[in-house]
Amino acid sequence: MMHDNITIVDIGSGSMKASVFTCTQDSVAPLGGISRGFRLCSQMGANISDSKIKVTTGFFEEVLALAQEYNSTKIIAVATQAARKAANFSRLQRKILKKTGINLHVISGTEEAVLTAKSARHLTELEKFISFDIGCGSVEIAEFDQVLQNAWSLPISTLDLAKAHSTETAKEIIKNVLDTLPVHTRNMEGYELIGSGGTLKVASLLINGKTRNFVIHDEVQSLFNTLKDKTKEERFAYGVPKTRADIFPFGLLIILQIMQHVGKDKVFLTSGSLRTSLALEYFRMI
């Protein structure tokens, strides 16, 4: 059975990404994509400014060109935490629809967590795992044991942590939020920990280069210790992208706290989880 290519757009709090997927025999394969390190909201809960509406609408014009290049006849566009929190999201939605004909819709945090878990299951074929995705505006976590057991969207924003808190205060805030989850009270033997998101990807590249698909706790801790007291410019010189140099240590703190919370020394990486899941869902593979 022949399938048309599908373009998936993910408008996150810290970046905008689009990928074109084609259907393979038992999965999906990316054909091409674009990514822009752009924060839709500088602070969670704030309105989206006119200038950011203009930039985001311009990105969707790039999406149209990308879809045309790869003969994609269907475009699915979703937005996450920054859009969920912005009171004027509908204004951005109308601008994009009028300019490009693309309907950008918001997905809930729980739906985001579920999609991340489904992607992790498909990509790894593991039977028992905890999956998480760290964004600039929220953290999504799910528990999978043969089938999806639980999914949570947590109000932990690296943007807010970086603006308002020292790393020690941030560590306590993250711990208090994670302690509301039931997984730390249960035996996690047999579970693996799977993570996604830009912070984890950058951390892995700084630690491993491209040689491994996992990081261990002590490596992340060492990277955090190295970078926590450096300036944004110093972090950039170390290899952290400019677009996340201010928030990067707080993202590392979240990784460390999740590892401690579930008692795992290693976290495996998956990439493009949300976009991959939406493509798999479109082709009815999950």
Q: What is the pLDDT of residues 2-40, one digit of tens each?
A: 568 999 999 998 899 999 999 988 889 999 999 998 888
* Helix (H), strand (E) at residue 193: strand 192-196
Q: Are residues 193 and 64 in the same domain?
A: no
Question: What is the percent of the chain where pLDDT is above 90?
Answer: 74
**Which two structure tokens, joined as six digits, stand for 226?**
């190295």
Rounded Cα distance between 76 and 100, Å, is: 13
Q: Which residues contact 37 (CB under 8 A, 6 or more apart)?
A: 14, 15, 241, 242, 243, 244
Q: Are residues 133 and 253 in the same domain?
A: yes
CATH code assigned at 181: 3.30.420.150
Whether the CB-CB separation of 73 and 102 falls below 8 Å is answered with no
Instruction: Tell me the residue range of the domain where 33 lies.
Output: 5-106
User: Kind of pairing, strands 147-154 and 139-145?
Assistant: antiparallel
The domain boundary, picked from 106, 139, 159, lies at 106
Whether 278 is covered by a domain: the verdict is: no
- pTM to 2 decimals? 0.91
Band of the pLDDT at 157, cuts 50, 70, 90?
A: confident
Greatest pairwise CA separation for the chain in angstroms: 55
Report the domain count for the chain: 2
In this predicted structure, the answer to whether residue 239 has a pLDDT above a threshold of 80 is yes
Whether 286 is covered by a domain: the verdict is: no
Phi, psi of 68 (to 5 degrees): -65, -40
Q: Are residues 96 and 133 in the same domain?
A: no
